[in-house]
Structure 1
Amino acid sequence: MSGKQIDEITGVETTGHEWDGIRELNNPMPRWWLWTFYLCIIWAIGYAIAYPAIPLIKGATPGLLGYSSRAEVVAELADAKAAQGALLEKIAATPVADIAGDQELLQFAIAGGSSAFKVNCAQCHGSGAAGSAGYPNLNDDDWLWGGTIDQIYHTIAHGIRFDADDDTHYSEMPAFADMLEPDQINQVAAYVVSLSDTPSDAALVAPGEQIYVDNCAACHGDEAEGIVDFGAPRLSDGIWLKGSTEAQIVAQIRSPKHGVMPAWVDRLGEPTVKQLAVYVHTLGGGL
């Protein structure tokens, strides 16, 4: 069908389009909508002139106002860093154990420590600091080198078995495969398991206890509570770093694995290490 007609019901002229007997009415847009549309076009043209908007080969048009979102972010970061400067200086001058006494400083240290942990520590200890095989859980009260905030600070600052730092924690468990017979290793492993679980053969526990007293108590303590001066773990609980099965304990006694943690104070600076220590200490463990 061609040509325009007047719809009998509405009295509105049709566009001339018809589909399946239905004619399209020619209702013009409201004036307010058209003016809004025209104003949006004018605003878009003005925006493209005033601000960076039109892409070019090596950038974009700078705009008459010279605005740069990147420059704005740089300025905001500079302002934030300047605002943090006073608190960072205060942290640097405050003993780490005294930071908790200043609520503002404590909150700042926890926030900064949390951020630094995610960037530098989560790769080994996990995003929630729950650890994994060979990497300690930092949310509990089981601390190889002590859980006071000063001890945590020292561990983070100087690392563990990190040869480049003279103040690093250092201890190594000897390989008892060179000192004990295989049966003796199985016996002492059974005794260690019995302290927190049920060993595979209860008959091995009694002879294993004597072997423990003769060979292990000097580092792990008479009651297997561990000795932090040696970095010797507590064996009387169910928290294990190198594996909790009896076979894994046997393997560790026979040929121990020794982890290495880098020293962070030269990499991150003392204020950041203090913030890390405060953050780790507040995770739920510590003393």
Structure 2
Amino acid sequence: MSTENKDIDTISGTETTGHTWDGIKELNTPLPRWWLITWYITIIWAIIYMIFMPAIPALPGMGTNTTGLRNHSDRDLVAAAVQELKAERELQSQVLLNATLQEIETDRELQQFALAMGESIFGDNCATCHGAGGRGAVGYPALADDVWLWDGTLDGIEYTLRHGIRHEADLDTRFSAMPSFGRDGILSTEEIGDLTQYVLHVSGQEADMAAVGRATPVFEAQCSTCHGINAQGDRSQGAPNLTDAEWLYGGSQSVIYDTIYNARNSHMPAWQGRLDDASIKAVAVYVHTLGGGE
């Protein structure tokens, strides 16, 4: 088309497309040169990328996408990185396995590895019951305080992890059994009611002192063997301290009555055989550093 035949907008001086709508002419404004250059560069880059990198989807008969001249594979790189990490962790795990628990806590680098490993394993296997960070729940001990039914030392925590609590398949499991005083007919409901008042009293709660007086000889005869004559418990047999107002199931009158009547004998798995020795050590170190270790 010659210049004479072009429709030029008189105001902007720009050629129009020849389209008009409601008296408005559409200008044929060219794209900015920088935009065109950028566009051409992206096209060239895409072609180069398709040559060197896996980019073209699988076509019939190919079975897979093109691999490109570099034969690059993110999947292979990830697999190699995982294997490298696994090999590194196996080496550190061996060092962890050969170190004593005390050596682990005094070696800063080894301790950090044990804590990271232990936290991960704890989250996968223990947090379901004990909660994130070992905060505990009703019926599941808090591991982040300084109250222990058994042994809160590093060695003691590792032993508990290995053998569990009341785990029938492990002969070395930690074991204690509280009688079901009401369900098994050992004590009358009146005696259990009096014992409930006794426990309320020794734990610092309001109680019926007449009932406490009646319950004192019953407690000495039936409960002191495990909980102690002063009701402060015995960790060697997992008997809780009744005077510290720390409760696993709750310290209300109704809960205490139910505990005495039906007993509470929870179970914990023995992790020996489920976790390797290095993993058990790592979890022991992690639990010990939550704040409640001795």
Per the alignment, residue 211 of structure 1 pairs with 218
Which of 175, 178, 190 aligns to 1:173? It is 178
Change (3 A) 1:71 1:16: same
TM-score (norm 1): 0.91
User: 1:187, CA displacement in angstroms?
Assistant: 1.1
Per the alignment, residue 225 of structure 1 pairs with 232
Q: Distance in 1 between matches of 2:129 and 2:56?
A: 46
Q: Distance in 1 between matches of 2:47 and 2:190?
A: 87
Q: Distance in 2 between matches of 1:138 and 1:25?
A: 75
User: 1:21, CA displacement in angstroms?
Assistant: 5.0
1:218-259 alpha-carbon deviations (Å, 9 max, x no partner): 111233222111111121122211233211111111111321
Which of 49, 58, 80 aligns to 1:56? It is 58
Change (3 A) 1:218 1:52: same
User: Which stretch of structure 1 is more off in the superposition, 191-200 or 138-147?
Assistant: 191-200
TM-score (norm 2): 0.89
Contact 1:191 1:199 in 2 (8 A): no
Q: Distance in 2 between matches of 1:77 and 1:263?
A: 29
Q: Distance in 2 between matches of 1:216 and 1:238?
A: 17
Q: Distance in 1 between matches of 2:194 and 2:74?
A: 69
Q: Which contiguous aligned blocks of 4+ residues in structure 1 show a shift greater than 6 angstroms?
A: none
TM alignment of 1:1-287, pairs within 5 A: 5-19=7-21, 21-56=23-58, 59-177=64-182, 178-199=185-206, 201-287=208-294
Q: Give the counterpart letter for 1:64 in structure 2.
A: L
RMSD: 2.1
| 3-state SS of 1:265 partner | coil
Q: Distance in 1 between matches of 2:149 and 2:234?
A: 8
User: 1:38, CA displacement in angstroms?
Assistant: 1.7
Q: Distance in 2 between matches of 1:54 and 1:221?
A: 77
User: Percent identical across equivalent pairs?
Assistant: 46
Q: Give the counterpart letter for 2:83 in structure 1.
A: A
User: 1:24, CA displacement in angstroms?
Assistant: 3.6
| 3-state SS of 1:15 partner | strand
Contact 1:199 1:246 in 2 (8 A): no
Gaps of 5+ in 2: none
User: Which stretch of structure 1 is more off in the superposition, 224-233 or 50-59?
Assistant: 50-59
1:184-206 alpha-carbon deviations (Å, 9 max, x no partner): 11111111122334246443223
| 3-state SS of 1:283 partner | helix
1:163-185 alpha-carbon deviations (Å, 9 max, x no partner): 22221111111111221111111
Q: Which has the larger radius of gyration?
A: 2
Q: Distance in 2 between matches of 1:200 and 1:20?
A: 93
Q: Distance in 1 between matches of 2:236 and 2:29?
A: 88
User: Which stretch of structure 1 is more off in the superposition, 108-117 or 69-78?
Assistant: 69-78
Q: Distance in 1 between matches of 2:52 and 2:213?
A: 86
Q: Distance in 2 between matches of 1:208 and 1:24?
A: 101
Q: Distance in 2 between matches of 1:226 and 1:4?
A: 103
| 3-state SS of 1:133 partner | coil
Q: Distance in 2 between matches of 1:19 and 1:166?
A: 93
Change (3 A) 1:5 1:195: farther
Gaps of 5+ in 1: none
Q: Distance in 2 between matches of 1:116 and 1:205?
A: 46
Contact 1:142 1:234 in 2 (8 A): no
Q: Give the counterpart letter for 1:259 in structure 2.
A: S
Q: Give the counterpart letter for 1:223 in structure 2.
A: N
Aligned residues: 285
